[in-house]
């Protein structure tokens, strides 16, 4: 089992005829993902990497039974693309696009929730279940099937940490890149609740960064509801007071969202907190060994 995507996931690529859509369609196929359709208005009837292209998402879903979408549409049109996917009945939309206007994402978030759809992102690397499916842009080579769940706000740190877990002789059940914008469709609490219910995830790695309160909220959930071991890392510990990182969501205000507050919350919830990314694989191995010794 995995979280949100599996071997039956049938992916539609919105914006497949653009450079990024084409490149990552090929990479998703190499990962083993079933990419069944693309959608670009005016390009219906074409093929990209052997994938049929349709003029609309509705036609693509009707023809191929696609049940997940990855959006490579430019920011000004991302809201319309997401609404089109939700209206076509797609339950999972991964929005890779960055620089989406704040109010567009607010509208997208509530519209998707109203229609029973889940958004991953925006400004995210996507989601991957090794050996099953990948929806997004996370590099293929960093993965190995295993029992470690990973959820992260940072794209590049996700790749580094997942690769380290693999090099340590371990593997991942599912990796979820949440995205770094102020409003995202899936947060730490959402992801942790999914991993809690996944019988193939034994340990979860949670990667946060300064700004916002998502990590503190995740810590509250761990303390109250999460029964599996957690290893955590928070980027930005050495940032000057009030400094924001590159992500739009990394805004510190009125003493909240600092690395210190997040670290204290996670440690208070029982998570093992790494000081540096390279420590994470060893801490994961320790938590897995503790489970074996129980």
Query: In the chain, helix, strand, coil percent, each to 5?
Result: 40, 25, 40
- Cβ-in-10-Å burial (0-12, 13-18, 19+) of 204 comes to buried
Q: What is the DSSP code string of 50-75? A: TEEEESSHHHHHHHH---EEEE---H
> For 153-275, where are the E strands, in sequence order?
172-177, 203-209, 230-235, 272-273
Rounded-to-integer distance, Cα 50 and Cα 52, Å: 7
Q: What letter does residue 243 receive in the DSSP assignment?
A: -
**CA–CA dist 166, 180 (Å, integer):** 24
Place of tokens 């979860």: 204
C-alpha to C-alpha distances, 93 to 30, 137, 168, 186, 284, nearest whole angstrom: 20, 14, 32, 11, 30
Could you give the CA distance from residue 39 to residue 50 in angstroms, rounded to a whole number?
13
For residue 82, whether the previous peptide bond is cis, meaning omega lies within 30 degrees of 0, is no
Distance CA 294, CA 288 (A): 10
Residues with catalytic annotation?
A: 247
Q: What b-and-e string marks burial along 127-154, b requiring 16 or more CB atoms within 10 Å of the CB? A: bbbbbbbbbbbbeeebbbebbbbbbbbb
Strand bridging mode 133-136 / 126-129: antiparallel
């Amino acid at each position: 089992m995995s979280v949100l995507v599996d071997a039956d996931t049938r992916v539609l690529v919105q914006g497949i005829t653009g450079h990024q859509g084409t490149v990552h369609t090929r990479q998703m196929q190499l990962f083993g993902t079933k990419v069944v359709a693309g959608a670009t208005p005016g390009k219906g009837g074409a093929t990209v990497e052997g994938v049929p292209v349709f003029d609309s998402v509705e036609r693509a879903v009707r023809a191929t039974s696609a049940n997940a979408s990855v959006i490579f549409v430019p920011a000004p049109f991302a809201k319309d693309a997401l609404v089109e996917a939700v209206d076509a009945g797609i339950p999972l939309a991964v929005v890779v696009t960055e620089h989406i206007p704040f109010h567009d994402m607010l509208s997208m978030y509530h519209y998707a929730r109203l229609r029973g759809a889940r958004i991953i992102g925006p400004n995210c690397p996507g989601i991957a279940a090794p050996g099953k499916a990948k929806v997004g842009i996370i590099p293929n080579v960093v993965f190995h099937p295993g029992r470690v769940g990973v959820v992260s706000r940072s794209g590049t740190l996700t790749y580094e940490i997942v690769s380290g877990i693999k090099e340590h002789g371990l593997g991942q059940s599912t990796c979820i890149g949440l995205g770094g914008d102020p409003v995202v469709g899936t947060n730490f609490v959402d992801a942790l609740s999914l991993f809690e219910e996944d019988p193939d995830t034994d340990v979860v790695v949670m990667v946060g960064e300064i700004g916002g309160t998502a990590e503190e909220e995740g810590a509250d959930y761990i303390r109250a509801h999460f029964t599996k071991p957690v290893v955590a890392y928070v980027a930005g510990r050495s940032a000057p007071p009030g400094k924001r990182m590159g992500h739009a969501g990394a805004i510190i205000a009125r003493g909240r969202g600092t690395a210190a507050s997040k670290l204290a919350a996670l440690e208070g919830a029982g998570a093992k907190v790494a000081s540096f990314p390279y420590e994470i694989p060893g801490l994961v191995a320790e938590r897995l060994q503790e489970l074996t010794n129980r």
